[in-house]
Structure 1
């Protein structure tokens, strides 16, 4: 090859330099995220984020109270709705905190578990050179026996008291190193691992759990189907076909109230079966005492009244409706509607529009004798009354647009399509005759019960994790790390005797370790075969 060829050869292409700064930034942020300080901050944020879920009504638990809160707070209510305050545990910001805490705990625990496992396999450290410089130390008088023999005896004594021990020989000098309290770090790791498992249990409930609400009037029932629930929330991987088959029928509801109006007992007598032709069984559901069946829990939430309204139109056709009314205060003053869309239709003739009848009213379990009769004096049904407002026209139900079953469409009233006919107060058995000759009667009332059905496959995982959290926390708080060293040196004046020096150290609670050190010193002294006197521990200031 010629010199000219060498001079014109292209220079070798060097690889593009990597971006060490970007990698350093990622590593720094990862270390920040997986630090214990960040995990504690995220745990605090998670607890703080859950506060609105306990203070504000939640859509999946009680949608009626959510609507009531929105109507009572026209300014603040919509703002809270936009940030997901009525569905806290399903909101994106709560899920973000949850996921970050999950990642932080994993990144924080993994290296700590490796270090702890490595520490458990290591022998206790060798004795310091100067035991007499330790805060807890003592030197025992010379005792009969060889250092190796005495070390074996001392090791057995300490191991019986659950000390991890190792014997080291350094020429003629023999040292016994002992350590105790590794359960402190084990408990700490169990606490954090259990917290991680608890998060997994809660997440599994969100994926495969579900819950639903239904309002049952006495005499009614439902089967476990989405179409029969008033409101439901399904996990991400739950479908209608995966719901367990069962049916529940509400026979009777019992409620007792104190003189102050506070409820003292809620109980619902129900009949249930597997929905597949199996035998029917009876049970009573009470507050915090659910019915457990087919892997689901059936809770009793709240109660109210369903006035029974009977309407006879001008053609003599009678319609009866036990309509659930929703409580408006703690005395169960309740409001609701009864709609008779098929009333005033002449038998055998074409259907006429604009002649539907609807009643909007207030039910008072204990009606005052004086003043307005729209506010009850007690939740107990001592003198029930029903104030009705009759409307005639187009209720809007035939439009196909979903309507509330607890209030009339105010838009229809404002447009004049649904007109007020009159108002009247009724007691059970009373009858009111309207202007067109039709009549409405207040037949009586039934009580209704709010039922919640819940299935959460992660509940057992959460329970076990919560127990382990408590146990791990107790170990972490109660157990202390401490170390003990015993140096056995042949007596310079008598080779058949041995001088024993003892030193102890506690990483935490040094004052409490003083008593334990004295007891250990006494046990070591009594385990020696022969001793001319008893040693006494001396204090050395740090």
Structure 2
């Protein structure tokens, strides 16, 4: 008996199985359909970022959300609902989208580069099968030299081929800019994604209300509001200080027409050297210091008051007010926690603190019953005051607004209102409280709202926007097409055209080319029967 050995198929090696698995999923990831799905997923993932307060924008709002939803907020925090744009799941979608787009574009770039360098293909054996086809008589004046000149003048890529049987073909192609535009358009999305990511990780900003003749330095403690990127630390901020020397606002018909701030700045270099300068800061005309831009984004008024307590001690306060409308009617508060201290004993009465809710009206019209004015200029400024005495609640360590009296202290009875009606005083006037203390309205100053911003991703996003526009126009307007003209050995001349994209004007363009090459050619009318072509 003879034993027959049968060969068993060898199982693929683990490396081959891994490569096959990786290749399959790589093709899936780099498909344009996948990129569109990821783009949609990114848009959906950004919804929680606009629904819930974000720590990078306002930690105060996040704290308030925890206070209002003590049971739900911790669970949302575990899902990164308050740090959406730095969360692992958002970053994963973002990174996959970038990889998908790069995987889509790089192979197309390679194919497009080869197509640009490749020769225009020869005419088919039977040109009559093409969408556009014309046969010129043997006596047609279709000059080869003229044909080349016409096509070159109209920026067609051409290739001349001479066959052994005497046939001469000029092949022309046009419209590669369409694919170039498509590639630029998709590349621009990558630029935008990279720029937004760089801005989110490495940018920072700070807002500061700065009154005239006041200065601030670039540190977080001196900003009214700030935000830091994930990769930014307070020690990364450049060292400089800005002083608002003078601010001028111009109004016409109740509306602002120009803001102009004269500032002085000092910056400290890496070697410790100090440089200073002056700058005329205007809207959309920022001051640049060490790659950081200082913008003028707003304007308002600062009320100056002096409080005289029951022992004759005075305190002067410069308090910024927040505008409520276009007429700059503004609201604010004056808080005096360290008053009514007995100078003989130094005893402090915690229930003798004083606060005032106030409305600043730049132009008060006493001929009407309306408190709020309609003119933002300082023609007749007044303060409408409501006074409170008691415990302002500043000693509990909790953050609160400097523009209003603590409502919780009023509701709890810790603060009591001491005047029944709102009292209106002008500049130089004083409000007298029942205990004999007074608040004098000394005057009004102007302030500027400055925003300090460093965004390294901004230029990248701008480059992406420019690329998007440069790619969108040719991608929508340009059509790729081919045109051939062939001189046959029998003396006849054939022209043909092929549309590589949807293009209704192919016949008209090819007829125009044929007429330019053969001056005695007459294009057929719209009712011409082309069934024989």
Measure the CA separation in 1 of the matches of 2:328 and 2:80: 29
Q: Does 1:309 align with 2:305?
A: yes
Of 326, 338, 343, which residue of structure 2 is paired with 1:342? 338
Identify if the C-alpha distance between structure 1 residues 387 and 96 changes in structure 2 by more than 3 Å, giving closer, same or farther: farther
Of 244, 259, 262, which residue of structure 1 is paired with 2:238? 244
Correspondence list, 1:275-354, <5 A = 275=268, 277-286=274-283, 288-347=284-343, 349-354=345-350
Measure the CA separation in 1 of the matches of 2:465 and 2:93: 20
Measure the CA separation in 2 of the matches of 1:243 and 1:336: 31
Measure the CA separation in 1 of the matches of 2:12 and 2:411: 74
* Structure 2 residue matching 1:361: 3-state secondary structure: strand
Query: Partner of 1:204 in structure 2?
Result: 198
Deviation of 1:428 after TM superposition, in Å, equals 0.9
Q: Does 1:502 align with 2:492?
A: no
Correspondence list, 1:99-118, <5 A = 99=95, 101-118=97-114
Checking the alignment, whether the CA contact within 8 Å between 1:363 and 1:374 is kept in structure 2 is no
Q: Does 1:178 align with 2:182?
A: no
* Structure 1 residue matching 2:274: 3-state secondary structure: coil
Of 362, 384, 402, which residue of structure 1 is paired with 2:381? 384
Deviation of 1:441 after TM superposition, in Å, equals 0.5
Between 105-114 and 228-237, the greater mean CA deviation after superposition = 105-114
Per-residue CA deviations over 1:47-66 (Å, capped at 9, x if unaligned) read 799899999999978999x8
* Structure 1 residue matching 2:302: 3-state secondary structure: strand
Between 318-327 and 270-279, the greater mean CA deviation after superposition = 270-279
Query: Partner of 1:524 in structure 2?
Result: 517
Correspondence list, 1:452-467, <5 A = 452-467=451-466
Identify if the C-alpha distance between structure 1 residues 50 and 373 changes in structure 2 by more than 3 Å, giving closer, same or farther: farther
Identify if the C-alpha distance between structure 1 residues 87 and 297 changes in structure 2 by more than 3 Å, giving closer, same or farther: farther
Per-residue CA deviations over 1:79-102 (Å, capped at 9, x if unaligned) read xx9999999977888767655543
* Structure 1 residue matching 2:185: 3-state secondary structure: helix
Measure the CA separation in 2 of the matches of 1:32 and 1:459: 32
Of 179, 184, 187, which residue of structure 1 is paired with 2:181? 187
Query: Partner of 1:272 in structure 2?
Result: 265
Measure the CA separation in 2 of the matches of 1:151 and 1:21: 58
Q: Which runs of 5+ in 2 are unaligned?
A: none
Checking the alignment, whether the CA contact within 8 Å between 1:88 and 1:94 is kept in structure 2 is yes
Q: Does 1:256 align with 2:250?
A: yes
Checking the alignment, whether the CA contact within 8 Å between 1:366 and 1:384 is kept in structure 2 is yes
Deviation of 1:112 after TM superposition, in Å, equals 2.4
Checking the alignment, whether the CA contact within 8 Å between 1:141 and 1:534 is kept in structure 2 is no
Q: What TM-score, normalized by structure 2, do the two folds share?
A: 0.79
* Structure 2 residue matching 1:274: 3-state secondary structure: strand
Identify if the C-alpha distance between structure 1 residues 486 and 91 changes in structure 2 by more than 3 Å, giving closer, same or farther: same
Identify if the C-alpha distance between structure 1 residues 21 and 326 changes in structure 2 by more than 3 Å, giving closer, same or farther: farther
Instruction: Give the number of aligned pairs.
Output: 506
* Structure 1 residue matching 2:232: 3-state secondary structure: coil
Checking the alignment, whether the CA contact within 8 Å between 2:250 and 2:256 is kept in structure 1 is yes
Checking the alignment, whether the CA contact within 8 Å between 2:362 and 2:376 is kept in structure 1 is yes
Between 232-241 and 318-327, the greater mean CA deviation after superposition = 232-241
Q: Which runs of 5+ in 1 are unaligned?
A: 1-5, 7-11, 492-497, 527-532
Correspondence list, 1:378-457, <5 A = 378-422=375-419, 424-457=423-456
Measure the CA separation in 1 of the matches of 2:367 and 2:384: 14
Measure the CA separation in 2 of the matches of 1:314 and 1:405: 24
Per-residue CA deviations over 1:457-478 (Å, capped at 9, x if unaligned) read 2222222222222121122122
Deviation of 1:515 after TM superposition, in Å, equals 3.3
Between 318-327 and 35-44, the greater mean CA deviation after superposition = 35-44
Between 404-413 and 205-214, the greater mean CA deviation after superposition = 404-413
Checking the alignment, whether the CA contact within 8 Å between 2:140 and 2:521 is kept in structure 1 is no
Checking the alignment, whether the CA contact within 8 Å between 1:303 and 1:449 is kept in structure 2 is yes
Per-residue CA deviations over 1:407-454 (Å, capped at 9, x if unaligned) read 222233333333333353211111122233322111111122221111
Deviation of 1:280 after TM superposition, in Å, equals 2.8
Q: Does 1:540 align with 2:533?
A: no
Between 93-102 and 359-368, the greater mean CA deviation after superposition = 93-102
Measure the CA separation in 2 of the matches of 1:255 and 1:58: 34
Identify if the C-alpha distance between structure 1 residues 243 and 48 changes in structure 2 by more than 3 Å, giving closer, same or farther: same
* Structure 1 residue matching 2:505: 3-state secondary structure: helix
Measure the CA separation in 1 of the matches of 2:12 and 2:150: 66
Checking the alignment, whether the CA contact within 8 Å between 1:310 and 1:321 is kept in structure 2 is yes
Query: Partner of 1:494 in structure 2?
Result: none
Measure the CA separation in 2 of the matches of 1:123 and 1:407: 76
Deviation of 1:231 after TM superposition, in Å, equals 1.2
Q: What TM-score, normalized by structure 1, do the two folds share?
A: 0.78
Measure the CA separation in 2 of the matches of 1:289 and 1:56: 33
Measure the CA separation in 2 of the matches of 1:466 and 1:118: 27
Checking the alignment, whether the CA contact within 8 Å between 1:218 and 1:447 is kept in structure 2 is yes
Of 120, 125, 131, which residue of structure 2 is paired with 1:124? 120
Between 338-347 and 327-336, the greater mean CA deviation after superposition = 327-336
Measure the CA separation in 2 of the matches of 1:110 and 1:357: 69
Measure the CA separation in 2 of the matches of 1:56 and 1:448: 32
